[in-house]
Amino acid sequence: MLLTCGVLLSCTSSPTKPASESSQVKAAPGSTLEQSNPQQQTDGLVPPEIVRSEGVRIEKGVKMLTVGNVQGHYLLSCNTNQDSCVTPTPGQDYLLFSKTTRWKFPGAKDFMTLEWIQDWTGSYNNEENIALLPRDRHSPTRMGMYWLRSWDKNK
């Protein structure tokens, strides 16, 4: 009999932001994000967090990357043998989708959520999954799927 056991690598979870903090995400000119309007707020939208790629290293088939913003820094990992284990471009901004993100891009008919992205890319079982998409929609980088190792809040 084969027994499979998962090990949680981190005891921390992604931060949960109050609605007022989440609604403060500002769209840059030409960005794929637009300011939320009252209708979007009633739709229960939670915009993706905007983070910047800070560093990447690979150890024994596991890619570890750091992304962050003024709120804090995420340490994410992925298996290098997975197609969704994308290496972010250093210094580039990304949209971070967590389990609470629910967003509608301009002109889209459906909401984009982490679950929707996982349907396309796969997921890591027994881990908290995080997806990264380039903020610049003209970027050639694909969306990536990672598991959350830790999150450190800036002081």
**pLDDT tens-digit profile of 34-62?**
444 444 455 789 999 999 999 999 999 99
Task: Determine the average pLDDT of the residues in 58-83.
Answer: 97
Question: Which pLDDT score is estimated for 58?
Answer: 97
Q: How confident is the model at residue 140 (pLDDT cuts 50, 70, 90)?
A: low
**Better-scored residue on pLDDT, 4 or 80:** 80
Tell me the CA end-to-end span of the chain in Å, nearest whole number.
Answer: 49
Residue in the block written with tokens 């250093």 = 90
pLDDT over 50 at 27, yes or no: no
Work out whether strand 49-59 and strand 93-97 pair parallel, antiparallel, or are unpaired.
Answer: antiparallel
CB 109 within 8 A of CB 90: no
Q: How confident is the model at residue 13 (pLDDT cuts 50, 70, 90)?
A: very low
114 — phi, psi (to 5°)? -60, -40
Residue 123: exposure state from Cβ atoms within 10 A (0-12, 13-18, ≥19): middle
pLDDT over 70 at 63, yes or no: yes
* Cα angle value 86/107/132 (rounded, 5°): 15
Tell me if the pTM is above 0.85: no
pLDDT in tens, 77-103: 999 999 999 999 989 999 999 999 999
Tokens linked to 22: 């989440």
Q: Which of 88, 96, 95, 91 is nearest to 65 (CA)?
A: 88
* Cα angle value 99/102/105 (rounded, 5°): 135
